[in-house]
Amino acid sequence: MDEIATFRHFLSKHQPAIIVKVAEIRGSTPREEGAAMAVSQDATCGTIGGGQLEYIAIDHARRLLKGHDAPLQLDIPLGPEIGQCCGGRTVLAFQHADDGAVATLLSSLTESATSAPCIYIFGGGHVGAALAHALAPLPSTSP
């Protein structure tokens, strides 16, 4: 299942949910601007980079789901303060997954997928097979 279908399925089954997006990056960060994940009370979908950054995001999203008065944006240093060694900063944006937010997320994922580079592998030997296996988890725009 591709990333768009995965998010669509998750958000149809796990409501209420919060969409967490990487809104801004500075320096070395684990994911690019626009990377997203969805968080429900008991599950997650996608990744914004893993590690402590993601744990902070999940915890914050779940606080929002519980109705806590919390900011909809966090500026997180990716260094010793949180035990992550990237060294940059990431600004995360949090949004309730209403119909408009879900449509915007899916549109953004579609745009990213269609602008992704294509990789063609010629040859079906052991190197080509290993390369195809290693690349399989990447988003795909092919049917």
**7-59 residue pLDDT tens:** 999 999 999 999 999 999 999 888 899 999 999 999 999 999 888 999 999 99
Answer whether the bond into residue 139 is a cis peptide, omega within 30°. no
Provide the number of structural domains found in the chain. Answer: 1
The predicted structure's pLDDT at residue 96:
97
The answer to whether residue 89 scores a pLDDT higher than 60 is yes
Quote the domain boundaries for residue 76.
Answer: 3-135
Query: Is the pLDDT at 125 greater than 80, yes or no?
Result: yes
Q: Is 141 inside a domain boundary?
A: no
Tally Cβ neighbours within 10 Å of residue 133. Answer: 9
- What residues are paired with 3 via a beta bridge? none
**3-state DSSP percent of the chain in helix, strand and coil, to 5:** 35, 20, 40
In a domain, 27, yes or no: yes
Asked whether residue 119 carries a pLDDT value surpassing 90, the answer given is: no
For residue 9, being part of any structural domain is answered with yes
Q: Name the pLDDT band for 139 (thresholds 50, 70, 90).
A: low
In a domain, 142, yes or no: no
Residue 95 lies in a domain: yes
Query: Tokens 């950054």 belong to which residue?
Result: 53
Average pLDDT of span 81-91: 80
Tell me if 143 is assigned to some domain.
no
Q: How far apart are CA 103 and CA 111, in angstroms?
A: 12
The model's pTM = 0.79
CB 39 within 8 A of CB 53: no
SS3 40: strand
Distances in Å between the alpha carbon of 134 and those of 59, 62, 122, 130, 140?
31, 33, 15, 6, 13
| 112: number of Cβ within 10 Å | 17
- Please report the pLDDT score of residue 120 as a whole number: 82
